[in-house]
């Protein structure tokens, strides 16, 4: 084999984990190169909320929030239930805070603590009511120069009116109408409209937040170091020489390129969420590629290439799940994160019956959808039903609350496609949805009884601190429960979607890809969603996917550069 290019560490993909691995390996003396298949860098990481779940991080210490490696390990062991080797969990717990410290000290990464964003299971031993999730501060896109135009845009749902960007902390402040929310709204809106230079160029907000801020900070840091990132360059084939991974055959603008990876090759090419055939083969069915909210370029070929080489895979039937709605005119599915737990709404199946705690972590919603989906009581799709009070008070999917965006002001396309179902009675809404009317009426009557006591004895909605984070704190006694009794009634259709798949190449605690015999394949590493997640079948808290991707990027950079 002759090579067109040789580096020490070749990284396939350009998400947060890929960039962290490149940066850390570069700082430790390695020649690194990132290759990205699409014409934009950043992948789902750029589209994301940008949060990282980093237990025992230095920002918690600065805010006097206690945590320890022992508590974090206790929590992870409890929620992963013995499915993940302890040495891998421990490696994560030990290195996640080191990674964040290093990146804060030596790169442009600037994160802030989400002190009130709870772990997803705060009541489990070792769980915390806040602080382990961190999110990016704002980042000025002008610092990227021309590179800004080559960054993947945020998911549409991350933007207000498809334009304006804000941090998760700001969004929560506005949604909960905490004191000062009006001033904050004015500040965010005027910042956007007063960026005259930006507005003359495009509608894209240059004050980046969430995943775009994260990727912007990482990209700027790589630019400062002169680390190359090649776009339109897809890894197509892994090359092995003398039993060791030697490099890849890539395709760049239609021509073949052989790139040698002298110290290691990192697959950081995302999951298979956008590959319909792989979804149908590996995930629970029914499933569709259009139900993912993630990057269209994540089509699983890195996983397939690894498998062809004899790598073992794990967790292929699982994803970072979340209920989604398909909004006409929007390119990607939109996840229902906030609205599903707000009081005055329910999820029902075709029989008109509830089957889950709607305020539970979004990952658990889809697990419940599939677990309850039987021919007798189909749950795919499910239906989110609410009344006029809910519609008036809360944003939902693509709509603002009716007090700000009444039904007549909804976009024409949504009206034409009858996206939002509406009827004067529950029987009418059941007919609109084609579901059992008597079942729906009985379910709503029961739910309304629960709301009077503030207790949901069936599914315990609003009992966990996590449920209440997205509840309406002004609604008492249970911020996630309110009657559904004011016509007209509304509904939207809900599918089991995802933020990406989480099954992939099996790796050890150093991110080395393993064979089915448990042996590392020399020179081959995998991180992010093309590796089987360190979180097993669970989701510890906001940032539970990119926290590990970046941490294991940091870990492997040390491994390839000599510990």
Which residues here bind ligand FAD, judged by CB under 6 A? 12-18, 35-38, 43-45, 47-51, 155, 234-235, 268-270, 293-295, 297-298, 301-302, 320, 499-500, 528-529, 542-546, 549
Of the two residues 56 and 292, which places its CB atom closer to ligand FAD in the complex?
292
CA-based R_g, the chain, Å: 23
Give me the residue label for tokens 């709509």.
Answer: 399
Transcribe 25-88 into DSSP letters. HHHTT--EEEE-SSSSB-HHHHHS---EE-TT-HHHHHTT----HHHHHHHHHHHHTT-S-HHH
Q: Which is nearer to ligand FAD, 398 or 439 (CB)?
A: 398
In angstroms, the CA 452 to CA 479 distance is 12
Tokens 């950081």 correspond to what residue?
Answer: 268
Whose Cβ is closer to ligand FAD: residue 135's or residue 456's?
A: 135
**Both structure tokens of 286:** 């029914």
CB of 548 to ligand FAD, least distance (A): 8
Would you say 274 or 561 has its CB closer to ligand FAD?
Answer: 274
Nearer to ligand FAD by Cβ, of 207 and 499: the residue is 499
**Least CB distance to ligand FAD at residue 46 (A):** 7
Least separation in angstroms between CB 236 and ligand FAD: 7
- Is residue 142 a contact partner of residue 196, using CB atoms and an 8 Å limit? no
Give least dist CB 99 to ligand FAD, A. Answer: 13
| Residue 427 or 510 having the CB closest to ligand FAD | 510
Least distance CB 326 / ligand FAD (angstroms): 14
Strands 207-208 and 229-230: unpaired
Cβ at position 498, least distance to ligand FAD in Å: 8
Give the H/E segment covering residue 372: helix 362-372
Closest to ligand FAD by CB, 257 vs 269, is: 269
C-beta of 335: minimal distance to ligand FAD in Å?
A: 6
Is 311 exposed, middle or buried (CB count within 10 Å of its CB: 0-12, 13-18, 19+)? Answer: buried
Q: Which is nearer to ligand FAD, 16 or 429 (CB)?
A: 16
Per-residue DSSP letters for 494-543?
EEEEEEEE--EE-B-TT-EEEBTTS-EEEEEEE-GGGB--TTTT---STT
Evaluate whether 525 touches 244 at the Cβ level (below 8 Å).
Answer: no
- Closest by alpha carbon to 316, among 293, 329, 300? 300
Using the minimum distance from each CB to ligand FAD, give the nearer residue, 500 or 523.
500
Q: Are 201 and 126 spatial neighbours (Cβ–Cβ below 8 Å)? A: no
- CB 549 → ligand FAD: shortest distance, Å? 5
**Please, which residue, 20 or 464, has the CB nearer to ligand FAD?**
20
Provide the minimum distance between the beta carbon of 223 and ligand FAD in the complex, in angstroms, as a whole number.
17
DSSP code at position 153: P
Q: Looking at the DSSP assignment, which residues form a beta bridge with residue 34?
A: 11, 229
CB nearer to ligand FAD: give 274 or 373: 274
Q: Quote the least distance from Cβ 541 to ligand FAD, whole Å.
A: 9
**265 close to 523: Cβ distance less than 8 angstroms:** yes
Q: ∠131-19-94 over CA atoms, to 5°?
A: 45
Strand 52-53 and strand 133-136: the pairing is antiparallel
- The CA–CA distances, whole Å, from 315 to 83, 282, 283 equal 10, 9, 9
CB of 344 to ligand FAD, least distance (A): 25
């Amino acid at each position: 084999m002759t090579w067109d290019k040789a580096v020490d560490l070749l990284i396939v993909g350009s998400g947060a984990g890929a960039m962290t691995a490149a940066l850390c390996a570069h700082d430790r003396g390695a020649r690194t190169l990132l290759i990205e298949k699409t014409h934009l860098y950043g992948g789902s990481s750029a589209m994301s909320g940008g949060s990282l779940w980093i237990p025992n991080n230095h920002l918690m210490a600065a805010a006097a929030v206690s945590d320890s490696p022992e508590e974090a390990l206790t929590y992870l062991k409890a929620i992963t239930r013995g499915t993940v080797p302890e040495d891998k969990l421990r490696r994560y717990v030990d290195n996640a805070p080191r990674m964040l410290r290093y990146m804060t000290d030596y790169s442009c990464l600037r994160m802030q603590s989400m002190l009130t964003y709870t772990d997803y299971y705060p009541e489990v031993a070792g769980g915390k009511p806040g602080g382990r999730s961190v999110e990016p501060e704002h980042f000025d896109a002008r610092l990227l120069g021309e590179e800004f135009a080559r960054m993947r845009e945020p998911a549409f749902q991350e933007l207000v009116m498809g334009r304006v960007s804000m941090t998760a902390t700001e969004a929560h402040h506005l949604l909960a109408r905490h004191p000062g929310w009006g001033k904050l709204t004015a500040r965010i809106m005027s910042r956007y409209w007063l960026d005259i230079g930006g507005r003359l160029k495009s509608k894209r907000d240059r004050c980046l937040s969430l995943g775009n801020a994260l990727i912007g900070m990482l990209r700027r840091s790589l630019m400062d170091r002169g680390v190359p990132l090649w776009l339109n360059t897809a890894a197509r084939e892994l090359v092995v020489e003398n039993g060791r991974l030697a490099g890849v055959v890539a395709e760049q603008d239609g021509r073949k390129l052989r790139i040698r990876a002298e110290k290691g090759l990192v697959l950081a090419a995302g999951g298979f969420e956008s590959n319909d055939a792989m979804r149908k083969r590996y995930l629970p069915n029914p499933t569709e590629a259009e139900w993912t909210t993630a990057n269209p370029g994540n089509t699983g070929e890195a996983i397939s290439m690894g498998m062809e080489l004899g790598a073992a895979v794990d967790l292929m039937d699982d994803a970072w799940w979340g209920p989604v709605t398909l909004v006409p005119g929007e390119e990607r599915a939109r996840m229902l994160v906030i609205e599903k737990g707000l009081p005055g709404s329910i999820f029902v199946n075709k029989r008109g019956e509830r089957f889950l705690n709607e305020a539970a972590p979004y990952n658990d919603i889809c697990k419940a959808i599939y677990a309850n989906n039987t021919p007798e009581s189909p749950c795919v799709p499910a239906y989110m039903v609410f009344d006029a009070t809910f519609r008036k008070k809360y944003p939902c999917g693509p709509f603002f609350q009716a007090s700000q965006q009444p039904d007549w002001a909804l976009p024409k396309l949504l009206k034409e496609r009858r996206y939002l179902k509406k009827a004067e009675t529950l029987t009418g809404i059941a007919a609109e949805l084609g579901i059992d009317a008597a079942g729906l009426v009985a379910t709503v009557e029961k739910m309304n009884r629960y709301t009077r006591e503030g207790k949901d004895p069936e599914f315990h909605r609003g009992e966990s601190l996590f449920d209440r984070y997205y509840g309406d704190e002004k609604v008492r006694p249970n911020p996630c429960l309110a009657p559904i009794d004011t016509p007209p009634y509304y509904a939207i259709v809900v599918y089991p979607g995802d933020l990406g798949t989480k099954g992939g190449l099996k790796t050890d605690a150093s991110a080395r890809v393993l064979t089915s015999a448990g042996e590392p394949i020399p020179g081959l590493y995998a991180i992010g969603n093309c590796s089987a997640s360190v979180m097993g079948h669970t989701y510890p808290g906001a940032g539970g996917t990119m926290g590990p991707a970046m941490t294991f990027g940091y870990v492997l950079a040390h491994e390839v550069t000599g510990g």
